[in-house]
Amino acid sequence: MSTDNIILEMRGITKTFPGVKALQDVTLNVTRGQIHAICGENGAGKSTLMKVLSGVYPHGTYEGDIVFESETCEFKGIRDSEHRGIVIIHQELALSPYLSIAENIFLGNEQATRGVIDWTKTNAEAAKLLARVGLSESPDTKIMDIGVGKQQLVEIAKALSKRVKLLILDEPTAALNDEDSAHLLDLVRSLKGQGITSIIISHKLNEIAAVADTTTVIRDGLTIETLDMNGVEPVSEERIIRGMVGRSLDNRFPERSPRIGGEVLRIEDWTVHHPIDQSRKVVDGASLMVRKGEVVGLAGLMGAGRTELAMSVFGRTYGTNVSGRIFKDGQEIHTRSVGEAIRHGIAYATEDRKRYGLNLIEDIKRNITSSALGKLSRHGVVDREEETLIAERYRKDMNIKTPSVDAIVGKLSGGNQQKVVLSKWIYADPDVLILDEPTRGIDVGAKYEIYTIINALADAGKAVVVISSELPELLGVCDRIYTLSQGRVTGQLSRAEATQESLMALMTKEKEVTSR
Amino acid sequence: MTAVREYLGRNMRQYGIMGALVAIVILFELTTSGRLLMPDNVAALVQQNAYVMILAIGMVMVIVAGHIDLSVGSVVAFVGGVIGIAMGKWDMPWLLAVLLGIVVGALVGVWQGYWVAYVGIPAFIVTLAGMLIFRGLAIVLVGTTIAGLPTGFVAISNGYLPNLLGYTGNRDALTLVLGLVAIAGLVFSQVRARTTLRKHDLEVEPMVAFAGKLVLIALLLGAITWILSGATGMPIVLIIVGVLILAYTFVLGRTVFGRHIYAIGGNLNAAILSGVNTRRVNFGIFVNIGALAGVAAIVTTSRAGAAVAAAGDSFELDAIAACFIGGTAVTGGVGKVSGAMIGALIMGVLNMGLSIMNVDPSWQKAIKGLVLLAAVAFDLINKRRAAGR
């Protein structure tokens, strides 16, 4: 490999935070015109490495060299790196929702002459860039009016406007559905054809296997290995996982022998309308039930109405004109408020723990007890001693990695935050637990722990509903899986019957009422 | 020793603001050649600033929940007008008028709470409207002033507890006893909390820090008691403020209601999805600050000896400033009664010290503004430094 082909060389990068070595002598060589994947568990140092590269951590705050296009670079900030053609697109998109696509693309880089913006030029240039990323929206459209998938494309168009040579995508498909993900990955491939080099950070190993030319695995701040994905021998997902966790996860899902009892919760003919567009049915006549000790999956593509179904059942926290009936242990119940739902023994752990699940500025113990303070208090006065003891118990039982239950939740890793969310709902002691994307954005090791917890809950006689976009996960933990498509229940499969293919077929089934 | 340093580092903010208070007191003690801490001045400091402390208690809860209340100054004038008329024109017994004041304040809170909690209008707008409405109503009710209030009522903010226990030397024994009770109560409750934690093998702050903190606070309380005992006696209003501080520290720290306030301010969505009845909590917060504004109106009217239509001018700003100086987060979710009280004291000491020094009131305003800005800037820089590590 001649050095001309290397677009980026990071040599011996070491970055230390007080008490922690986040990166230790990390080396990364990226070949021009390739798609280079970086894998690693959360906290392995991927993001830190990218922050060093893009100048978020300026030169001088780390050791080692960055050589870009055969020149040693000393970036003082993100402007410097962008100037050289290195653009990073963060997981949380940095677009202004009230501005148009064109305005966002040229934000900070306005097409102006002497301070006066040339709108014709702005929109024309934007339209060209949109064509390159395959987005057929008018440049005038406001960002808030397009979906996350399209917003991601706008980000890439914005990067293209900066004459990007090296595009860094941090978890680009984390918030996208399969279709949008596929489109995005196609785009990255076609950019490769145009000579743009990409670095992709992703948890989704199947995507990496599909798109990457080279994969570098980082673990605990060290470069573990660099794998050539186009070699004779194909690199399997298991091979990458082995590098990431330092052990082979022979079984990604813990074993369980289900003991299923009688019906706990039954939902009949459940219909929910969109909160703004009230004529639109988001959930359309859905019926389903869960039994004691059973783990039931809800599979569906983005927009199938899984989360909307769960939230409308959980105290009408989503939607308008909700109709249908809910039976708990054979008795009809109503869940018009969250309080009512909790009193009937229903709990819902959200898919977006940071926005809807946790008080990030509060400590662990107060988060754990927040949904069941009534159990902890007499005459409205909280027993703080008992509270600390309970939190301590969950810290040990759930293996929440923290020195103290007084630690602020916002500072925990994703996996540990998720354990706090689960602790909170387990402490509320519900009969039915609805877990919405319980392993989103957490690393492989922590996922296994979450599955173990789900199994333990089912073994303790709880009815568990798992909503997930990852089909292998549903197949690995559920006893039975319902499929949703366009708000309708399109089928249910037992563990034995279900395969990724059979689920996908039902998940994409178009409008036609299935008889059950 | 490192444990102590680490602990201090983590609680930098709390000690920082207390240090600032002590520094300001020492500064004025020097510039006023010892007059600031003369017994009668300390008593007057409490009497003149009781309203800030009372309002700041309510304001902390409002701000922690992510709201703001701009109306309290006008509500003070309005409630003051109502009780002024009740006593001055209807000859209502003053104790009954006090009760009336609290009830009317709470009703104002019901009115504003309804719009905020159940209709969903931002508190900034509701209370901005309230600021205009109740100021207007106060002028309609009072005209300019209603004077000639009962002496019993006027004593609330100007009087002292009777000298029941006589004197030890030339010091009021009752004040000394109350001070000792307060110190004993504090030490007892702190030690007990620590022992329960120890009993369950849970982490406690290092012994040196714990003891140091207790000794420091005890000394501080002791010093204040000692000074006050040299004055005419224990100001009645100090007892009122003290009881409110204790009660609301309990409400915010120990009750489900208090916990829900922090939950709402920390993450409203998460609170809703945890089953917190956010409307009821928000409503309660506004009823509460209304009632406290009623108390502040009683204290203010009593201090002036008359109901004044212009009373309570910019009280809301004093209370809000006290909260922010005391570490309450602008974005909600964080804040303590104790912090706001220190904030109120800083404002009070500034008022007092600058007045003794004969600084022009216009300059006093400017200086207080700078102190507010400096306190919050200090906080922000501190946080950034902590995050940057």
Nearest to A319 by CA among A286, A293, A281, A346: A281
The tens digit of pLDDT for each residue in A147-197 reads 878 888 999 999 999 889 999 998 888 767 778 888 899 999 999 998 899
Cβ contact (<8 Å) for B272 and A17? no
Reference A23, options A58, A72, A62; nearest CA is A62
Query: Domain A263-507 classified CATH 3.40.50.300?
Result: yes
> Please, are residues B74 and B134 in contact by the beta-carbon 8 Å criterion?
yes
Q: Give the model's confidence band at B12: pLDDT under 50 very low, under 70 low, under 90 confident, else very high.
A: low
Q: Which residues of A168-179 are buried (b: 16+ CB within 10 A; e: fewer)?
A: bbbbbbbbbbee
Checking if the pLDDT of B2 tops 80, the result is: no
Q: What are phi and psi of B211, to 5 degrees?
A: -65, -40
| Helix, strand, or coil (residue A270) | strand
The DSSP call for residue A408 is B
Query: Using a CB-CB distance cutoff of 8 angstroms, which residues of chain A are in contact with residue B333?
Result: 359, 361-362
Instruction: List, in sequence order, every beta strand (DSSP E) within A416-467.
Output: 432-436, 463-467
**Whether A392 contacts B202, CB under 8 Å:** yes
Q: How far is B197 from chain A (nearest CA, A)?
A: 7
**B260: chain A residues, CB-CB within 8 Å:** 373
Interface of A with B in 407-446 (CB under 8 A): 424
Beta bridge partners of A432: A346, A463
Which helix (H) or strand (E) segment is A64 a member of? strand A63-68
Q: To the nearest whole angstrom, how far is the Cα of A18 from the nearest Cα of chain B?
A: 6
**Buried-exposed string B348-374: b where 16+ CB fall within 10 A, e elsewhere:** bbbbbbbebeeeeeeebeeebeebbee
Q: Work out the average pLDDT over A485-514.
A: 80
User: Smallest Cα–Cα separation from B202: which of A385, A332, A382, A63?
Assistant: A385
Tell me the pLDDT of chain A averaged across its residues. Answer: 87
B262/A392 Cβ within 8 A: no
Encoded amino acid at A468, one letter? S
- Nearest by CB to residue B254, choosing from A357, A382, A406, is A382
Find the mean pLDDT for residues B325-350.
Answer: 90
For B233, counting Cβ atoms within 10 Å of its Cβ (0-12 exposed, 13-18 middle, 19+ buried), the class is buried
Structure tokens at B28: 């004025």
Between CA B356 and CA B41 the distance in angstroms is 9
Cα–Cα distance, B49 to B296 (Å, whole number)? 10
Partner residue opposite B270 with nearest CB, options A314, A356, A374: A356
What tokens does A405 get?
């239950």
Residue in B with minimal Cα distance to A368: B274
Q: Pinpoint the residues of chain A covered by CATH 3.40.50.300.
A: 3-85+165-245, 263-507
Name residues whose C-beta falls within 8 Å of residue A115's C-beta, 6 or more positions apart in sequence.
none
Give me the sheet containing A488-494, strands edge to edge.
Answer: A346-349, A432-436, A463-467, A295-300, A480-485, A488-494
Confidence bin at A43 (pLDDT 50/70/90): low
Is pLDDT above 80 for A301? no
Average pLDDT score over residue span A356-372: 92
A373:B256 CB<8 A = yes
Q: Which residues sit opposite B2 in a β-bridge? A: none
**DSSP-derived 3-state class of residue A307:** helix
Residue B203: closest CA among chain A residues belongs to which residue? Answer: A404
> Is A266 in a helix, a strand, or coil?
strand
Q: What is the pLDDT of residue A515?
A: 43
% residues pLDDT > 70 (chain A)? 95
Tens of pLDDT, residues A135-157? 888 999 998 888 878 888 999 99
In chain B, where are the structural domains located? 2-159+235-388
Please give the full DSSP string across A317-365, using - where no structure is assigned: -S-EEEEEEEEETTEEE---SHHHHHHTTEEEE-S-IIIII--TTSBHH
CB atoms within 10 A of CB A296: 24
Q: What is the pLDDT of residues A247-259, one digit of tens each?
A: 555 567 888 888 9
pLDDT value for A2: 47
Residue A59 in contact with residue A84, Cβ under 8 Å? no
**Predicted local confidence at residue A419, as pLDDT:** 92
User: What does the block give as tokens for A22?
Assistant: 């986040």
Amino acid at A72: T
Least confident range from A90-94, A337-341, B92-96, B189-193: namely A90-94
DSSP secondary structure code for residue A100 in this structure: B
Query: And the tokens for A191?
Result: 């950019």
Rounded to whole angstroms, the Cα distance separating B128 from B72 reads 10
State both tokens at A381.
């006065």
User: Which A positions 140-159 lie with beta carbon below 8 A of chain B?
Assistant: none
Shortest Cα distance, chain B CAs vs residue A285, angstroms: 24
**B233-265: pLDDT as tens digits:** 889 999 999 999 999 999 998 999 999 999 999
Does A370 reach chain B within 8 Å, measured CB to CB? yes
Residues of B near A (Cβ–Cβ under 8 Å) read: 196-197, 200, 202-203, 254-257, 259-260, 262-263, 266-267, 269-277, 329, 333-334, 389
Confidence of residue A4 (pLDDT cuts 50, 70, 90): low
What confidence tier does A111 reach under pLDDT thresholds 50, 70, 90?
Answer: confident
Instruction: Using DSSP, state whether A501 is helix, strand or coil.
Output: helix
Do residues A180 and A7 make contact, with C-beta atoms less than 8 angstroms apart? no
Amino acid at A187: L
Cβ pair B270:A358 closer than 8 A:
yes
3-state secondary structure of A102: helix
CB atoms B275 and A317 under 8 Å: no
- Name the token pair of B99: 């009760």
Q: What are phi and psi of A406, to 5 degrees?
A: -90, 0
End-to-end CA distance of chain A: give it in Å, rounded.
Answer: 60
d(CA A155, CA A140): 15
Angle at A455 (CA atoms; ends A364, A405), nearest 5 degrees: 10
- Helix H, strand E, coil C: the string for chain B is CHHHHHHHHHCHHHHHHHHHHHHHHHHHHHHCCCCCCCHHHHHHHHHHHHHHHHHHHHHHHHHHCCCCCCCHHHHHHHHHHHHHHHHHCCCCCHHHHHHHHHHHHHHHHHHHHHHHHHHCCCHHHHHHHHHHHHHHHHHHHHCCEECCCCHHHHHHHHCECCCCCCEECCEEHHHHHHHHHHHHHHHHHHHHHHHHHHHCCCCCCCHHHHHHHHHHHHHHHHHHHHHHHCCCCCEHHHHHHHHHHHHHHHHHHHEHHHHHHHHHHHCHHHHHHCCCCHHHHHHHHHHHHHHHHHHHHHHHHHHHCCEECCCCCCHHHHHHHHHHHCCCCCCCCCCCHHHHHHHHHHHHHHHHHHHHCCCCHHHHHHHHHHHHHHHHHHHHHHHHHHHHC
List pLDDT tens digits, range A448-480. 889 999 999 999 999 999 999 888 889 999 999
- Please state, in angstroms and rounded to a whole number, the distance separating the CA atoms of residues B17 and B70: 25
Q: Model ipTM?
A: 0.82
Two tokens at B145? 């002033």
**Integer Cα distance of A326 and A267 in angstroms:** 5
Over residues B23-44, the pLDDT tens digits come to 888 988 898 888 888 888 888 8
Residues in chain B: 389
CB contact under 8 A, B334 and A361: yes
Q: What is the bridge-based pairing of β-strands A295-300 and A463-467?
A: parallel
pLDDT exceeds 90 at position A300: no
Residue A370 and residue A361: Cα distance in Å, rounded? 13
**Cα–Cα distance for residue pair B372/B138, rounded to 1 Å:** 29
Measured CA to CA, the distance from residue A347 to residue A426 in angstroms comes to 9
Q: How far apart are alpha carbons B273 and A366 in whole angstroms?
A: 15
Enter the tokens of residue B372: 């507010």
| Residues A174, A47: Cα–Cα separation, whole Å | 15
CB contacts of A341 in chain B (<8 Å) are 275
Residue A283's φ and ψ, nearest 5 degrees, are -120, 130
Contact B267 A360 (CB under 8 A): yes
Residue of chain A whose Cα is closest to the Cα of B269: A356
Rounded CA separation A119/A162 (Å): 18
Query: Predicted confidence band at A97 (pLDDT cuts at 50, 70, 90)?
Result: confident
A370: which chain B residues are within 8 Å (Cβ-Cβ)? Answer: 259, 263, 270-271, 274, 276
Query: pLDDT tier at A516 (50, 70, 90 boundaries)?
Result: very low
Confidence of residue A19 (pLDDT cuts 50, 70, 90): low
The token pair at B169 is: 């030397």
Check CB contact under 8 Å for A341 and B267: no
Asked if A381's CB is within 8 angstroms of B256's CB, the reply is yes
Selecting from B200, B266, B273 the residue whose C-beta is nearest the C-beta of A317 gives B273
Write phi, then psi, for B206 (nearest 5 degrees).
-55, 145
> Per residue in B56-73, pLDDT tens?
999 999 999 999 999 999
Q: Please, what is the end-to-end C-alpha distance for chain B in angstroms?
A: 21
Q: Beta A35-39 vs A197-201: how paired, if at all?
A: parallel
pLDDT tens, position by position, B135-182: 999 999 988 888 888 999 999 999 888 877 877 777 888 888 999 999
Fold for A3-85+165-245, please state it: Rossmann fold (3.40.50)
Residue with tokens 């006065």: A381
- Distance between CA atoms of A514 and B144, rounded to whole angstroms? 77
Alpha carbon distance B28, A248 (integer Å): 69
Neighbouring C-beta atoms of residue B285, cutoff 10 Å: 27
